[in-house]
Amino acid sequence: MSWSWTTKRTVKFMFALSRGVDIVNVKWAQDCIRQKTILDLQKYQFADTNSEKKYGFSLKNSLEQAREEGDQLLRGWKVYLGGKIKPSLPEIQLLAETIGAHVLKTKPKHHDDDTLIVLDDDDQKLKNEMEKLGYVTYNPEFIFESIMKQQVHFDKHIL
C-alpha cells in the first residue's frame, strides 16, 4: 500500500511543529508493524516540498528551531483571542501558549504595549473596539505562520 501525504495545517500538526516533535511519514508505522520493533525515526522524516514552497517555510529548519527555542516565539507577550476565532478558541489558545504567549481570559480595557489581539476576520465589532484602544489586530494566520516559520512577523496578517 502506498500513501501520498501533504501538509495539512491541523492543530495536531501545528502543535507537533511548535514543539519540535519528529514528524514521520506513514511508512515508519507500516515498517514498525512489519518488523515488530520501533525503528529509527530519522529515515522516515516527513517531507512535502510543495507545501513548503506554498507556505514559504522549511519543515526541517522549523523543527530544528522549534527544538531549540520554539516556546520563546511569543514569550513575554500577552495575547487576547477573540471569541469567534477559528479553528476554535481552545485550539488557538493551545497553539499560542505552546509558543510562549500568556493568553488573556478577559478582553483588555486599556492599551498595553505587550499585548497582541488575534481575532477572526469577520469580528468587525471587536476589531473596531480594540483599534479604539490603540491595538493592531491580527487574524489567526499570525499564530500559524509564526509556528510554521519559527519567526514572528508583526507586519503581517493584520486585519
Segments making up each domain of the chain, as ranges: 11-69, 70-149
Instruction: Tell whether domain 11-69 is in CATH 1.10.1370.10.
Output: no
C-alpha cell at 43: 529515515
- The average pLDDT across 97-123 equals 95
Question: For residues 43 and 29, is the Cβ–Cβ distance under 8 A?
Answer: no
Which CATH superfamily is 70-149 part of?
BRCT domain (3.40.50.10190)
Of the pLDDT bands very low, low, confident and very high (cuts 50, 70, 90), residue 86 is confident
Confidence tier at 94 by pLDDT (50, 70, 90): very high
- What is the pTM for the complete model shown? 0.85
Q: How sure is the predictor about 66, in pLDDT bands with cuts at 50, 70 and 90?
A: very high
Q: How far is Cα of residue 6 from the mean position of the Cα atoms in its chain?
A: 17
Q: How many CA atoms lie within 13 A of 124 on its CB side?
A: 1
Find the DSSP H helices in the chain: 11-19, 26-35, 49-55, 59-69, 89-98, 124-132, 141-149
Query: Mean per-residue pLDDT for 64-81?
Result: 92
The pLDDT, as a whole number, for residue 92 is 94
pLDDT, position 5: 57
Q: How far apart, in whole angstroms, are the C-alpha atoms of residue 115 and residue 77?
A: 6
Torsion of the alpha carbons at 8, 10, 12 and 14, rounded to the nearest 10: 80
Check if the beta carbon of residue 156 is closer than 8 Å to that of residue 136.
no
Residue-level pLDDT at 3: 42
